[in-house]
Amino acid sequence: MSQDTDNRLFEQRRVEKVVEEINDKEEKLYVRSAGLKESVVELRKTFWDDVTVNVDEPDDIIETQESIKQQAALLSEKERFHGKISEELQTLQRLRNTPYFGRIDFIEDPGTEKDSIYIGIASLMDHAEEDFLVYDWRAPISSLYYDYSPGPAHYQTLDSTISGEITLKRQFIIKQGIIEGMFDTGVTIGDELLQQALGNNASTTMKNIVATIQKEQNKIIRNERSKLLIVQGVAGSGKTSAALQRIAYLMYRHREELHADNVVLFSPNPLFSSYISNVLPELGETNVRQMTFLDYLSKGIGDKLTIESPFEQMEYVLTQKESEHYPIRMKSMDYLSTLDFKQLIDSYTTALIENGIEFKPIKFRGRTLIAKEQIHAYFYSLDKEIAIPNKMEMVSKWLQQELSKYQQQELAEDWVMEQIELLDKEDYMRAYHRAEEQMQSSTVQDEEKILRRYMVRRFFQPLKKRVEQLAFVNILATYQQLFTEWNPKELPNDWQDIRAQIATDLAQKFLTWENATPYLYFKGRLLGDSADRSVRQLIIDEAQDYSAFQFAYIKHLFPYTRMTLLGDVNQAIYTHVSKENPLIPAEHEESHERITLTKSYRSTKQIVDFTTYFAPGDEPIEPFNREGGKPELINLRNESEWTTTLLTCVEEQLEKGNETVALVCKTLEESEQIYHLLQDKLAIHLVNEETYTFEKGVLVLPIYLAKGIEFDAVIIPDASSAHYCSESEKSLFYTACTRAMHALIMISKDEPNLFIKAVPEALYNVKS
């Protein structure tokens, strides 16, 4: 029997023993869980039976409260323990199928015995709870597996650095407790394991990468020192996957202080949020707060204004070039996205200390109680040295006092009694009992007085709440003055045209995407920012699509938060809004570290080689050695053949076993046209910005909604020079092509675009 066979038998027996241990632990936990559940249910039923209730004397009341507190604490502890058992059971269920994926043999000091360390998605102890059968991939010792080849190695614990030697590195493919593949390797992760992981069909959800984490990805995951971590990763380099593993690692490493509710992830669109939603639960962690930046802005701005989405902005840029307002809108996009415009807002806000803030009158039942001029006069009577947000709070308190006076005056008004008579039975009885408690005599007059107080307070309460929320400040009108009345000395070229167009939008209560962040920033300068200081970690995906103003605003809101920026300068499809990219930090950027991922794992070597020729950035791109067919360019002789050709391409890819075939279009307008053309001819799904789940099959979608997602096959329906006609669209075309894992087909109705022409013809196949 060969050494390889002996090793295989040994490892399979060990897997079986570990699975036995998992089954045994699971059985014991089920017994404990069932008994504890019965105990919790019984305790809920008999909660009040074991509580001494006596409210005759003050001491008795205290004793009753203490008794309730003790019983509630007992119930809470049992429920918490039951929840912990449930978590342990879920971990065991995840481990049963694949107990581990790696092994290293490590000798800590010369002359000591080697330790065989098996690494999986979670830790597992033996039955005596003394030795680790499996180490969690996030444990300090597990970093050896990702960072070193056999030979000298070390890892960092909380207290010290442990040095030694790795004598063996072994990787496993285990499914349903059976070893399907086993490789001894001298590199971090052997090609065999990656080939198998990457050669499969695209999934509707992102896969966790714990078994295939590369050394550079591991640097991202375990980085704890940088306040700002910038990850520039080429398409398919696994930057988003690494960031999600990073969240899981940090939550494991700082279990006591870092929780799901103080980690925020800004994702590019709702579909992407759905696509990555399974990764953390697979690793036994709760999903963190996920939202788009549009969601975040919308919440802060409120529903009184309509906000253009970044996708609507992109659609405008790509489809409205013939519009008479287009040149000015483009200049507006450029200027409003810069730090220069942020400085302009700061200057305007400083000027408002002297005069100019608009207010709203305080009205009650159709009449004005406090005119906006009165509020204006009171605000500007306050000390100018006091910050504007602090003065707003002082005005709010003054208004509350004034409203209390008016509230007292309203008690005798006829409308009050009319409203009392309209009370339904439930509200009337509530008011009556309250009146009864407060009455000092049983006269009808006293009861009516209390009821009147109840009714007036009920009507004034919403008004006071709005005053407390500073709703008396007319943010929109004050912001409009920046574009209608204010004339600073230094302004950009074409400012008169830019300001006129913005003023028109604001008059219609419409905020363009480039104006949404400035508006919310301005609102914060007047009312005070509600900075979320509970957020400890902020991850921004597709960071290259954030403007300089947007990124500055994020840093303004989260001044003490550690940030991870992920992106690819090659895929900066929104570069028309800013010349400054958050992925390229300024020299003065505090405590930042930049990690570059140059190897692409998503696409075959042939697709990566093809797209490298028109990648917009200067970063090198290294393909992973996974072979496949060359990209195909189909040149149509006749445009009338286009629909038939498109259908044929789709059918061919489905026949090859590709489960997700994406028709990636330049715009949503183009996507909708193709969808309506093909929906009666095949099963096809249209993806728009309202799409929240990723389905297998044939999809048609615009490039900007495909960001971060991968498909088995990508078909570009129109790759002609007439459709992609300018250098500025290079990032769009590059992004579309790099969504493909196994096959890339481009259809050209006439001359192919200049990006395809930049590629040597030997790197792709041409069909006519």
HSE, side-chain direction, 13 A CA sphere, residue 301: 27
Instruction: Choose between 93 and 3: higher pLDDT.
Output: 93
For the chain, the average pLDDT equals 86
User: Residue 444 pLDDT > 70, yes or no?
Assistant: no
Least confident of 413-422, 626-635, 727-736: 413-422
User: Residue 761 pLDDT > 90, yes or no?
Assistant: yes
pLDDT at site 50: 53
Report the candidate in 95, 84, 130 with the shortest Cα–Cα distance to residue 22: 95
Least confident of 159-163, 194-198, 377-381, 524-528: 194-198
pLDDT at site 423: 74
User: Residue 586 pLDDT > 80, yes or no?
Assistant: no
Q: Which ranges of 254-291 does DSSP label H, i.e. alpha helix?
A: 270-275, 279-282
Least confident of 18-22, 206-210, 461-465, 761-765: 206-210
Q: What is the dihedral of CA 679, 683, 689, 695, to 10 degrees?
A: 180
**Is residue 233 part of an annotated ligand binding site?**
yes
Query: Which one of 63-72, 114-123, 453-462 scores highest in mean pLDDT?
Result: 114-123
Q: What angle do CA 748, 750, 753 make, to 5 degrees?
A: 65
Would the pTM count as exceeding 0.75?
Answer: yes
What pLDDT band is residue 387 in, cutting at 50, 70 and 90? very high
Least confident of 171-175, 550-554, 731-735: 171-175
**Is residue 235 part of an annotated ligand binding site?**
yes
For helices 388-409 and 444-468, the axis angle rounded to 10 degrees is 160
3-state secondary structure 171-219: EEEEECCEEEEEEECCCCCCHHHHHHHHCCCCCCCCCCCHHHCCHHHHH
**Is residue 35 part of an annotated ligand binding site?**
no
- In angstroms, the CA 758 to CA 762 distance is 12
User: What confidence tens digit (pLDDT) does each residue in 201-228 have?
Assistant: 666 667 777 877 888 888 999 998 889 9
What pLDDT band is residue 193 in, cutting at 50, 70 and 90? low
Stretch 403-408: mean pLDDT: 92
Percent of the chain with pLDDT over 70: 86
What pLDDT band is residue 462 in, cutting at 50, 70 and 90? very high
Q: Retrieve residue 36's tokens.
A: 């504890």
Stretch 595-611: mean pLDDT: 93
User: What confidence tens digit (pLDDT) does each residue in 476-520 have?
Assistant: 999 999 999 988 877 888 899 999 999 999 999 999 999 999 999
User: What confidence tens digit (pLDDT) does each residue in 256-289 have?
Assistant: 888 888 999 999 888 888 888 888 888 888 888 9
User: Residue 442 pLDDT > 50, yes or no?
Assistant: no
Residue 465: count of CB within 10 angstroms of its CB: 10
- In angstroms, the CA 724 to CA 159 distance is 57
User: Residue 174 pLDDT > 70, yes or no?
Assistant: yes
Q: Find where tokens 């193709």 sit.
A: 674
Longest dimension (CA), the chain: 105
> Which long-range CB contacts under 8 A does 4-13 form with residues at least 24 apart?
7/182, 8/179, 8/182, 11/170, 11/172, 11/179, 11/182, 12/178, 12/179
3-state DSSP call for residue 118?
strand
**Are the beta carbons of 98 and 28 closer than 8 angstroms?**
no
**Is residue 55 part of an annotated ligand binding site?**
no
**Is residue 240 part of an annotated ligand binding site?**
yes
Instruction: Choose between 557 and 450: higher pLDDT.
Output: 557
Strand ranges in 108-177 using DSSP code E only, listed in sequence order: 115-120, 124-125, 132-136, 151-156, 161-175
